[in-house]
Every structure is written in structure tokens, then in C-alpha cells.
Amino acid sequence: MSDSCFVVRLNRYLALTAGEMKAVSALERDPKEYPSGSVLWQEGDDVSELLIVHHGWAHSETRPPNGKRQILRFHFSGDLIGAAGIAFRDAASSIVAATDMVVCRFPRKALGETFIHHPRLAALFFSMSQMESIDLADRLRAIGRSEGKARLANLFLSIAARMRAVSGESNPVVRIPLTQSDLGDAVGLTQVHVNRLIRQMTEEKLITRNRSTVTLLDEPRLIEISRFVDRFSAIDTSWFPAARA
Amino acid sequence: MSDSCFVVRLNRYLALTAGEMKAVSALERDPKEYPSGSVLWQEGDDVSELLIVHHGWAHSETRPPNGKRQILRFHFSGDLIGAAGIAFRDAASSIVAATDMVVCRFPRKALGETFIHHPRLAALFFSMSQMESIDLADRLRAIGRSEGKARLANLFLSIAARMRAVSGESNPVVRIPLTQSDLGDAVGLTQVHVNRLIRQMTEEKLITRNRSTVTLLDEPRLIEISRFVDRFSAIDTSWFPAARA
DNA sequence: CGCTATCTTGATATGAATCAATAGCTGTGG
DNA sequence: CCACAGCTATTGATTCATATCAAGATAGCG
């Protein structure tokens, strides 16, 4: 079971003990498949579970009344979904599969158990889910205070950084299975405007986009215009409690 | 020491045991005063502490290269600051006092101790800091997908909701010690435009603003235009581990 | 009693939305 | 294997929200 991408991911941050490993596997029972487009849960649902993504992409989205949509965050292999909403019964956003997915669900209660028996894992989950806050904050800065091209650049870089953090590689070609509407809803722009911006960025040789593949041609300039900071490579474990037998 | 607003706040969510209470007080040693305008820490600083706000207002802000500023979140009495950044050594945002403040600092390491000895407190801290994610997500939706007036309405309502959650009252008059520039930087608009919007909102009898006092005159309509959802009143503790002696 | 930060207001410029129409793909069924 | 249906992307014309620039007007503060 140690081929779980979630365990692999955790291990990248912190060498897990056998006991911890076992505790994590216990959360990953019974993976289920969901076809692209599935709604894993819906804004407002009474949610009592967390999800671990084994395979595929999802995003969290929320729908303001005006029929619009804001995509808050993307989730992929090795991600834990739902921590952000743990304080509330009702989901603050929907989770929608952007590709076919394999996902494990486990009850919140199991997280409580983990807090008792594996404080170090608790600290790790705590940290990982705080990365989500930081990611949101970065998106907020991008959307609140920069113009379209920079927002897109920021989004592409941040997705690439997260995928690289999981995979360990650093490929300039990134599979981003999103339509122009999706991209627009993620950065607060219209699909039409996204289209124009992508054309511009292509002309300026910043990126290339071909179906669901985006190639980052000029990362230095992308970073420059979006002032992107990669925060996903490592986490600070210095304050963690010691491992327990 | 149980008159600490932080303990009061925690107790509102969960009846703390004597032991837990004591553990919390241990984090609240040695309150310090900071005058309005102080920078509690700066974006990029190597931060190894967390802050508990006893008194006053602060905000987290971040500065994109273009000289602009994005205010991410406001912090007041009973708030725990810094959890979001716990995964990283370097602060992702600055913390600036908006009024005179009284603040306790404690080291991250102490949080690790708490995770070992008080799993239920760990769960509570976890939940509380996840509210921050949700708050950011809400702001993101507002900024990404609604127009100026709705953004401001959303901000006012969310500040009011948070303050009410702490105070227990539900006063339509809210002290918001922020300039128009601050407001603009929080919702991604210009100070000038904020000014015009506030004038409009005043004409429409939605709010009244007088120095640092904002009065919500017509909350139903404010809620309607901003589609605000109050999530701060309670948290789901059903999954928490049992209290420990 | 000035000084400086904040707020107000107007004129103009611009990024992005909206509306609208067309073109390309992709998959599906006959 | 073709034709059609239905997404997705492209492009142009126009409108609108918000930014920018610029000058005063207020008002708290030392």
C-alpha cells in the first residue's frame, strides 16, 4: 500500500514511522472511481468526510448568485480535500472532477483519531492544509491587484509548481485539463478575454497552449510579470512534536 | 487569567477542561503593546512565532511589485495569527497593526507540544485556522466575481459577522478603523473608487460611514447584493477527539 | 495654527465585459 | 465513413466598470 501517492507525498515532507504509515493507509481504504464531471460534493451539502485524491484532477468552485462561477482551487494526486471546510458542517464550495478520478473518502472522525494517536501526523495535516490558505492568499493577491496577463501567468506557474512538488520533476510542459472558461473562472476573467490574453501570450512567446497542454516557454518572464513565489517545495517541520512509537 | 479574550473565544466553541485552559494560558504569557502602524512582522521574515491578539486590529497584507498592496485579512481580539503560514519559514504576508494593540507571541514549538498533550485543542486550533481559509475563499469569490459595491458589502458584512461572533452582540454599528485606501486594498479597488461607491451606498441608504464607524442600515439588502453567507457563528466539533484529563 | 493624512470630486483613459457571429473539433449514430 | 450535435475556441464591435490623473476640501494632530 505504500505506493499510495498520498503516502509518497507525506514522506517527501517527513519520514513517516511504520505506525504512522499504517494510520495513513487506514484512511485510504476503498478507493472509488469518478468520471470526469462528477460532483464529489456540492456547495451547501452536509459533508462529514475528507477526500484523498489518488488520481485525476478536481477543482473547488462556488457559484455567486449571478450565475457566475469562481474556481477556488485545483486538487490533484496526493491532495487532501476538505480540510478547509472542517470547521463547518456545510460545504462552502463544490468539488467537481475535471478528469476521471480515483478518490478515497474517510470520515472526519478518523481525523480526530489521528489527532490523538499521531500528533506528528496531525501537525503534518495541519501544515499541509495551511498551504491551502497560502495558495488562496496568493490567488487573492493576483486577482485583486494585477491585470489579466499576470493573473494567468500566476495561475499557470502555481499549478506547475504544485504538480512539480508532487512529481519531483520540473517539466516546462504542464497538462492542464481546463477549458478557457475554466481558466477564466479561476482568475476572474471572461472566457473571451482569456482567449485574447492567451493569444497575446503566445505571440509574446511566453507560453504555448494546445488542448489541455500548456508549455511554459519563458518562465523567467512569466515569474517577472506575475511576481510568482513558489512556496510548495518544502514545509517547516521544525516545530513538530517527536514521532511516537 | 480566564479573562483572556482568546480563552473566552475558545470556550464559545468548546467547553475547555481545566488542563486545556491552563495549556492555553501558557501560550498567552507576556502580552506586549504595539502602537497603531507597527509592523508585527514583515513579508519574507523568518517567523517562528504565532500571535494571539488580545486587543486591537491588525491586518495581513502583501505587496505586489507594482507598489500596490493587497490586504488579505483582518485580525482582531481573540484571533490567532500565523497559523496559515506555519508550513513555511518565511512569512507570506506582513502583519500591520491598524490600531494600538496588545498581543502575545508564542513559539511554534509550543504548538507542537499542544498537539501532543491536548489533541482536542489541536483539533480546535486546526478548525479555527481553517476558518481563515474559508474566509479567504469567500473574499476570493467576492473579488473575482462581483462588482465593487458587492465587494464592499461583502467585506463589511464579513467583518461585522466576525466581530459579532467574538462579542456575542449583534450591533448594526461596526467600528472599522480603516481608511478608504485600506478598504480598497482589501477588495481590490482604488481608494477613489471606494469613495464613490461609499457615497452611492450612502445615497441608497445601505450604510452610513463616519470616521471609523460603519453603520449597516439595511443588512438584508447588503446580504442580497453580496450574497454573503455567515459562517463564523459556530464550528463543527463532532469529529473532535474526547477531552483528556 | 499650520501639517499631513484623508477624503471628495471631476475629466479622461483603459482593461475587461458583453453581445454576437463564425469556425473547429470530437464524438455519436445511422 | 459521413453528417450532425454540441462543446470549445476565435474574432470583431460596442459598452461599462474601474483606474488614472489632477485639484481641492477637511480634518485630526502635534
Helix, strand, coil distribution of chain A in percent, nearest 5:
45, 20, 35
Say if residue A48 is exposed, middle or buried (CB neighbours under 10 Å; 0-12, 13-18, 19+): middle
A198 touches strand D (CB under 7 A): yes
Q: How many CA atoms lie within 13 A of B199 on its CB side?
A: 6
Comparing alpha-carbon positions, the chain A residue that sits nearest to B111 is: A239
Residue B34 CB neighbours (<10 A): 18
Tell me which H or E stretch contains B71: strand B70-75
Q: Give the rounded percent of residues in chain A with a pLDDT score beyond 90.
A: 68
Q: Which residues pair with B61 in a beta bridge?
A: B71, B94
Question: All domains of chain B, ordered by start, with CATH?
Answer: 5-120 (2.60.120.10), 134-226 (1.10.10.10)
Residue type, B28: E
For strand D, which nucleotides have at least one atom less than 7 Å from a protein CB?
7-13, 17-22, 28
Summarize pLDDT for A111-167 with one digit per residue, the tens. Answer: 999 999 999 999 999 999 899 899 999 999 999 999 999 999 999 999 999 888 877
Q: Which three cell numbers stand for residue B189?
A: 479597488
- For residue A89, the chain B residues in CB contact (below 8 A) are 236
Q: What is the DSSP letter of B165?
A: H
- Cell 490523538 maps to which residue? A116
pLDDT, tens only, A204-223? 999 999 878 899 999 999 99
Q: How many CB atoms lie within 10 A of CB B200?
A: 13
CA-based nearest distance B209→chain A, Å: 24
Dihedral (Cα; A50, A73, A190, A137), 10-degree rounding: 130
Pairwise CA distance, residues B135 & A177, whole Å:
28
Fill in the DSSP letter of residue A90. B
- Local structure of residue B29 (DSSP, 8 states): -
Q: Does B238 touch chain A (CB under 8 A)?
A: yes
- Grid cell, residue B44, equals 519574507
For residue A142, what pLDDT is reported? 92
Dihedrals φ, ψ of A236, to 5°?
-85, 110
Rounded alpha-carbon distances, angstroms, from residue A32 to A29, A56, A106, A116, A166: 9, 12, 12, 27, 21
Other beta carbons within 10 angstroms of residue A69's beta carbon come to 20
Tell me: the pLDDT tens digits for B13-25? 999 999 999 999 9
CA B173 to chain A, closest CA, distance in angstroms equals: 27
Q: Write the burial class of residue B66 (CB in 10 Å: 0-12 exposed, 13-18 middle, 19+ buried).
A: exposed
Give yes or no for CB of B201 within 7 Å of strand D.
no
The C-alpha atoms of residue B37 and residue B35 are separated, in whole angstroms, by 6
Cell readout for A224 is 517577472
- B149: Cβ under 7 Å from strand D? yes
Q: Does A133 touch chain B (CB under 8 A)?
A: yes
Question: Could you tell me which residues come within 8 angstroms of residue B73 by beta carbon, excluding any fewer than 6 positions away?
Answer: A137, B59, B60, B132, B135, B136, B139
Neighbours of B117 (CB within 10 A): 15
Give the pLDDT confidence of B146-194 residue by residue, as tens digits: 999 999 999 999 999 988 887 778 888 888 989 999 999 999 999 999 9
Amino acid A122: pLDDT? 93
A59 DSSP β-pair partners: A74, A96
Q: Nine-digit cell at A115? A: 489527532
Q: Is the CB of B190 under 7 A from strand D?
A: yes
Task: For chain B, positions 55-94, list CB contacts with chain A under 8 A.
Answer: 60, 62, 64-66, 68-70, 72-73, 83-89, 92-93
Average pLDDT over all residues of chain A: 90
Report the pLDDT value the prediction gives residue A240, as an integer from 0 to 100. 94
Residue contact A227–B85, C-beta within 8 A: no
Residue B3 has pLDDT above 80, yes or no: no
D19 closest protein residue (CA to C1'): B190
Using alpha carbons, list the distances in angstroms from residue B100 to A158, B57, B164: 36, 7, 20
Do B133 and A136 lie within an 8 Å CB cutoff?
Answer: yes
The answer to whether B141 contacts A62, with C-beta atoms less than 8 Å apart, is: yes
Question: Look-up: residue for cell 457615497?
Answer: B199
Which chain C nucleotides are covered by protein, judged by CB under 7 A? 5-11, 15-20, 26
Residue type, B94: S
Structure confidence at residue A1 as a pLDDT band (50, 70, 90):
very low
Residue A31 pLDDT > 60: yes
**Residue positions counted in chain B:** 245
Q: What is the mean pLDDT of residues A41-67?
A: 89
Alpha carbons A134 and B37: distance in angstroms, whole number: 24
pLDDT value of residue A170 = 81
Is strand D less than 7 A from the beta carbon of A199? yes
Largest CA distance in chain B: 57
Note the pLDDT of residue A173: 86
Write the pLDDT tens digit of every residue in B210-234.
878 899 999 999 999 999 988 877 8
Statement: residue B65 has pLDDT above 80: no
**Would you tell me how many other CB atoms lie within 10 Å of the CB of residue B230?**
13
User: Å from A212 (CA) to D12 (C1')?
Assistant: 26
* Lookup: nucleotide whose C1' is closest to B193 CA: D18
Enter the C-alpha cell of residue A122. 496531525
CB contact under 8 A, B115 and A119: yes
Q: Compute the distance between CA of residue B74 and CA of residue B72 in angstroms, rounded to an integer.
A: 7
Average pLDDT over residues B191-202: 96
pLDDT band at A245 (very low <50, low <70, confident <90, very high): low
Instruction: Give the closest nucleotide to A147 (alpha carbon vs C1').
Output: C15
What percentage of chain B carries pLDDT values higher than 70?
98
**Lowest mean pLDDT: which of A32-46, A85-99, A231-245?**
A231-245
Q: Give the model's pLDDT for residue B172.
A: 84
